[in-house]
Amino acid sequence: MFCAQLTTLGREWARLFRLRPNPDQKTSYNPPLNPPAKQKKESILVNIRACMAAALFLICAPALADTADDQFQEVAAKYLAANPKPVLSEEAYKYKVQAEFMVQEKQPAKAIGLYDKALNLAPWWPEGHYQLALLLGETKKYRDATKEMKRYLQLAPNGPDARAAQDKLYQWEVVAEPVAGKTFKDCPDCPEMVELPPGNFDMGSNSGESNEKPQHHVTIAKAFAIGKTEVTQAQWQAVMGSNPSNFATCGDTCPVEQVSWDDAQTYIQKLNLKTGKQYRLPTEAEWEYACRAGNQQDYCGDDNVDKVSWNNRNSGSYFFNTPHPVGTKQANAFGLYDMSGNVWEWVQDNYHDDYNGAPADGSAWENGSKRVLRGGSWGYDAEFGRATARFKFSPGYRYFSYGFRLARVLP
């Protein structure tokens, strides 16, 4: 209540002052710096009001803009105080016109890129943030859309599209991509873990292989942690005292491979004794939830497989493909590496031929003779690294492209 009242007062005061522009910042406007001569007697009062309004904005900005970053708060403060308001430079205006044309041509990806360029030149442009937010929402990039729409509301809290903007935020709130939490390690030689929030997603694909059907809605009701990378050779060695990897010369930071599902369980038991924590393999649903990270991309982190995956197209020359050190490709939106490619990853579930009857709560689907592997590997075609692709093998089978990634129960 206090912030809301002061914020309202601060908005009124903001109309009474002008902020001096940063001399190092390129801008197409130059607000007046001094009051007219007839107002000189009031200049001291105006300056006091300016200082108080600026302080109030910094203190109460969260009431206006939720999680907006400090740098943009400064942009918004200067814009709200400016009179007259700035106008787009010719270059920014060009990008605006081109973006609008790309929207007409039904090429949203190009339009998004052009609005980005315009906003790099004019971050204070409310309409640009609004239009960019709409495009991001239409392409299901709800987290980015939410950020841009909140920026629009910071710049134009009483603007012509303010009501529509808030309605969009309400809509996106129920489908926005979840955001990963903190990372941690339980011991110096333990894998680094990333906390993932509860969430829901559509698992599988109705246009993929038969074992990826039917697509079904899954709810992950409780937060859990998952490995930032696949378990490495050094991490395995620290717990097990040996290294089973066929590619041991790849080095300590390469994923451990040539391990079976049973071997992974043995490692987990020993790690739990060492740390007193509850490590386990992720369920298949948790694995795909972590892979997708709130997006609908073909691979775990991008539609371009080579950005996120070591596969048989990019992991070496013909017949000489190898695994690579973990974390050397692009991470996904949760900050997880190698979810696509490098080594196949065992998950907890038994394999079933399709998803008919699959749990909707993200739990492991047991009852079967084989176990599921996910993510593809350095030695397989890139398509095996798709977010929905599934593989199977007997739990005791070892192979030089089979590894795993840990999950951990959170308190």
User: Can you give the pLDDT at residue 296?
Assistant: 87
- Both structure tokens of 271: 């790690």
Tens digits of residue pLDDT in 312-339? 999 997 678 999 999 999 999 999 999 9
Low-confidence ranges of the chain (pLDDT < 70): 1-70, 177, 318
pTM value > 0.85: no
Mean residue pLDDT of the chain comes to 86
| Concatenated DSSP letters of 152-211 | HHHH-TTSTTHHHHHHHHHHHHTTPPP----EE-SSTTSPPEEEE--EEEEES-TTS-GG
Q: SS3 sequence, 45-84?
A: HHHHHHHHHHHHHHHHHHHHHCCCCHHHHHHHHHHHHCCC
Helices 142-155 and 126-138 pack at an angle, to 10 degrees, of 160
Question: How many CA atoms lie less than 13 Å away from 54 in the CB half-sphere?
Answer: 16
User: Can you give the pLDDT at residue 187?
Assistant: 96
- Both structure tokens of 401: 């492209």
Tens digits of residue pLDDT in 53-95? 334 333 343 333 344 456 899 999 999 999 999 999 999 999 9
User: Can you give the pLDDT at residue 371?
Assistant: 98
Q: In DSSP terms, which residues pair with 374 in a beta bridge?
A: 345, 390
Tens digits of residue pLDDT in 333-364? 999 999 999 999 999 999 999 999 999 999 99
Tens digits of residue pLDDT in 223-234? 999 999 999 999
- With residues binned 3-state (H G I as helix, E B as strand, rest as coil), the percentages for the chain, rounded to 5, are 40, 10, 50
